[in-house]
A and B are shown apart, each in its own frame.
Chain A
């Protein structure tokens, strides 16, 4: 059933190091006087959306930005803690563009596209330059130069950081650049607006239907191109480190209009989160990966010690399982490996805390070696956050952590130009699938979001828009806009009309539980098949028995949620289909049937070295799988080893 023909990655010819240079110098351009006549819609105002919108505005396009937040500064990029990678080699420790490229490919378990990843590594240095010029207060050394730390999956220090709030500072940098363009009139900001559909005219993306969240009105907005920078879909699991409003709706609605959804089963489970404490829990809180620079993961060697106070368990009775299993990388193995290792020791009955689903992250050695002051300077805010949530002091007692859903590598399929399979529809940042393969390395999400927005899209979108200089403004009175608006309205009316007994939240929780149990850190054929059946039943129940209070013509957060959860259910099913289809383990996708004797992920490069791109075929129809074969011209593909 799989077809390869429809997918053209459009990676330029030539040697890997020249591809992007060649592209940039030969791509068609839009002249300044013509840019004024072109409208670009950007959905999302996080790192990718804000940086793209600001850069496109600077270039002279008319940009409209949509966010469901009350301000573009609230996007969830703001919560990224640890840092941003860049191949600056400021530490003189052997870093290079090639090494960042190579480590990203390897970290992604050889499931990403070489051309895209090399470009990412190439522009990484420019991002740091740009952000510093904007006034982002990165950490400095006493000589006034930039400081770095190291992150998982690498053996160099290339992570730039701003205390534990790097995402916040980078987002505020992009928000300030965006604000400047709003003031200049090149960008019009639509706060509290949520995209409900993308509108295609003659097969091209020509606008969106957005819902004004304050009045409930549906609005039509036309544009010559649409950029989705709407983030990831981790909230399909209900509990995740994502913010409460993060959702898949923009991407999913685009998918239903013809944009293929790639590798939906690649989800990243972050190893260091504060464990779940009860049924009422609404979200999980991440503790930055940077903590693994100085914190040591351990569990008791003997299950009977698990309930003891950790400080009463002597050294000899502790199992520093990451250092034991992966001596070369120790506590800094990539996220997927660290998460599975934690799960494995907990499954063995050696987990700690009241639920037995936690491991210790211990700073006692670091405090002895460096002193409490240094540890506080590095991680003070994270320690405080832990203490507020967990009610324990991590300077005195090791943190309890457990893996949690954090990031989604899958997303809308895009080509080298970040265009989806719908002409004129682009996807940037976490919303696309492009750069991280089956597993993302720490501090690479910020890098990718900003690379896409500042340095990739502004170039690639011009190639497409150069054909639109004589199109003129896109009319929103066309039958296509009318039909799309009607679809959205019908769907809203249908949801409001159900008048059932169960809350939206309760359905979301149930969906999350199915996903976590059966499509979470470890998956198997039987579980996935069960999950598909259960999700279908849950979806049917949802459309019969959900209750959405309030009305459509007012501020109604329950209705917003109801629309998002409906899309999560459809996505959840596709994730399970994709996970079922990929009969191998790679990166964040671990199929229990496919593992080495030591319990490591066992890839099958012969049959599965492709990106799986799913095509929507209509309501209640099986989606069609298209395969983009991954060719490795430069990197030698091998089994990942961090031992």
Chain B
């Protein structure tokens, strides 16, 4: 199939603009990123600089790929990362607009590549259980109900891609932050640090310049791992409870 691509280019000779490219021979079995590989091969042959985009595992789990395709984070399919979108969902003659994840807390590095290190700093502010190597008791001494473990897993499935932020009109990181808070708050291992964790992580999230949540829930709709906004509700509860009851002893 033939496609027209309008791609955001920024850095080097580009001040920040959409550049139009034509691809004449796109196979429907290609993945979206393989289609971009073809474009880049073409650009290299024309001695032009290829479009910078991030990607790594290409199997939907590393969270590296980060494109807004036709206005939607990770493209048109529900519960799917960019790398798992295949060209069979497009037709001959389509025009596709490709942009980076846009948010103040995700500054653009080049073209479609953004800096998401703010997510790392949110985790560093408390997204863990403080247990040193070698201190653990036998694993089966901590029984956890199957349902609880499952709920915790649902939150822990977050791949840290940032689509929630890109989808949100406020560029809020509530879904990402709440997923980690839920993952640990639901488990017995997370109880000791539960209150301080939510206070610290929310504070860091605000510090990074992410917006507030206004219950649009676009984050859940675009999340490639379909993390539920229920986690945001849980985080708000946790935060309220911790604000009133947490004490530094």
Chain A residues in 8 Å Cβ range of B117: 70-71, 191
- Seen from chain A, the residues whose Cβ lies within 8 Å of a Cβ on chain B are 51, 54-55, 58, 69-74, 76, 78-79, 88, 90, 126, 128-135, 137-146, 162-163, 165, 167-169, 172, 175-177, 179-180, 182-183, 189, 191, 214, 243-245, 277-278, 280-283, 285-286, 385, 388-389, 391, 454-455, 458, 503, 505-506, 547, 549-550, 554-555, 557-558
> A167's closest neighbor in chain B, by CB?
B61
- B135 CB-CB contact with A under 8 Å: yes
Contact A176 B61, beta carbon cutoff 8 Å: no
Looking at A137, A244, A391, the one whose CB has the most chain B CB atoms below 10 A away is A137
A130 CB contact (under 8 Å) in B45, B80, B136, B159: B136
Chain A residues in 8 Å Cβ range of B189: 132-135
State the CA gap A278–B25 with chains docked (Å).
13
Chain B residues in 8 Å Cβ range of A177: 128, 131, 133
State the CA gap A140–B143 with chains docked (Å).
9
Chain A residues in 8 Å Cβ range of B142: 132-133
Chain A residues in 8 Å Cβ range of B77: 388
Chain A residues in 8 Å Cβ range of B120: 71-73, 179, 182, 189, 191
B27 CB contact (under 8 Å) in A128, A137, A280: A280
State the CA gap A114–B130 with chains docked (Å).
35
A138 CB contact (under 8 Å) in B123, B149, B157: B149
Given contact pairs A70-B116, A169-B153, a sample of 10 additional A-B residue pairs in the complex whose CB atoms are under 8 Å apart: A70-B115, A78-B57, A79-B61, A132-B189, A140-B149, A176-B123, A179-B120, A183-B125, A244-B55, A282-B33
Contact A58 B45, beta carbon cutoff 8 Å: no
Query: How near does chain A come to B85, taking the closest CB pair, in angstroms?
Result: 8
Contact B57 A137, beta carbon cutoff 8 Å: no
Chain A residues in 8 Å Cβ range of B60: 385, 388
Contact B64 A135, beta carbon cutoff 8 Å: no
Task: For chain B, residues 155 to 210, give those with C-beta under 8 angstroms from any C-beta of chain A.
Answer: 156-157, 159-160, 183-184, 187, 189-190
Instruction: Say yes or no: A134-B88 contact (C-beta < 8 A), given A280-B34, A555-B110.
Output: no
Chain A residues in 8 Å Cβ range of B156: 135, 137, 169, 172
Looking at A143, A280, A281, A454, the one whose CB has the most chain B CB atoms below 10 A away is A280
Contact A135 B187, beta carbon cutoff 8 Å: yes
Contact B190 A79, beta carbon cutoff 8 Å: no
B190 CB contact (under 8 Å) in A135, A283, A391, A557: A135
State the CA gap A128–B41 with chains docked (Å).
45
Q: Please choose the segment from B46-54, B96-104, B230-238, B240-248 that sits at the chain A interface, where 4 or more of its residues have CB less than 8 A away.
A: B46-54
Chain A residues in 8 Å Cβ range of B134: 126, 130, 454-455
Chain B residues in 8 Å Cβ range of A145: 140, 143
Chain A residues in 8 Å Cβ range of B17: none
Instruction: Say yes or no: A549-B48 contact (C-beta < 8 A), given A70-B54, A132-B189.
Output: yes
Chain B residues in 8 Å Cβ range of A168: 61, 157, 159
Instruction: Say yes or no: A558-B50 contact (C-beta < 8 A), given A54-B133, A134-B128.
Output: yes
> B57's closest neighbor in chain A, by CB?
A243
State the CA gap A557–B149 with chains docked (Å).
40
A133 CB contact (under 8 Å) in B44, B136, B149, B183: B136
Contact B129 A135, beta carbon cutoff 8 Å: yes
- B92 CB-CB contact with A under 8 Å: no
A79 CB contact (under 8 Å) in B44, B54, B59, B152: B59
Chain B 20-36 against A: per-residue CB contact (8 Å), 1 yes, 0 no? 00000001011101100
Task: For chain B, residues 37 to 80, give those with C-beta under 8 angstroms from any C-beta of chain A.
Answer: 37-38, 41, 43-45, 47-50, 52, 54-64, 77, 80
How many B residues touch the partner, as a band? 35 or more
Contact B139 A454, beta carbon cutoff 8 Å: no
State the CA gap A115–B57 with chains docked (Å).
34
Looking at B37, B133, B142, the one whose CB has the most chain A CB atoms below 10 A away is B133
Contact B133 A458, beta carbon cutoff 8 Å: yes
> B51's closest neighbor in chain A, by CB?
A557
Chain B residues in 8 Å Cβ range of A74: 56-57, 62-64
- B6 CB-CB contact with A under 8 Å: no
Contact A182 B124, beta carbon cutoff 8 Å: yes
Contact B110 A70, beta carbon cutoff 8 Å: no
For the complex of A and B, list the 3 residue pairs with the smallest distance between their C-beta atoms, beginning with the closest. Answer: A144-B143, A176-B128, A133-B136
> A88's closest neighbor in chain B, by CB?
B139
Looking at B57, B58, B117, B129, the one whose CB has the most chain A CB atoms below 10 A away is B57
State the CA gap A296–B183 with chains docked (Å).
35
Contact B57 A76, beta carbon cutoff 8 Å: yes
Query: How near does chain A come to B240, taking the closest CB pair, in angstroms?
Result: 23
Chain A residues in 8 Å Cβ range of B54: 70
Query: How near does chain A come to B130, taking the closest CB pair, in angstroms?
Result: 6
B56 CB contact (under 8 Å) in A182, A243, A505: A243
Contact A555 B139, beta carbon cutoff 8 Å: no
B138 CB contact (under 8 Å) in A129, A183, A554: A129
5 intermolecular pairs with C-beta atoms under 8 Å apart: A128-B139, A135-B129, A144-B146, A244-B56, A554-B110
Task: For chain B, residues 86 to 121, give those with C-beta under 8 angstroms from any C-beta of chain A.
Answer: 86, 88, 109-110, 113, 115-117, 119-120
Contact B133 A243, beta carbon cutoff 8 Å: no
State the CA gap A133–B77 with chains docked (Å).
36
State the CA gap A51–B132 with chains docked (Å).
11
State the CA gap A144–B147 with chains docked (Å).
9
State the CA gap A377–B132 with chains docked (Å).
33
Instruction: Say yes or no: A79-B29 contact (C-beta < 8 A), given A126-B136, A133-B131, A191-B117.
Output: no
State the CA gap A524–B1 with chains docked (Å).
41
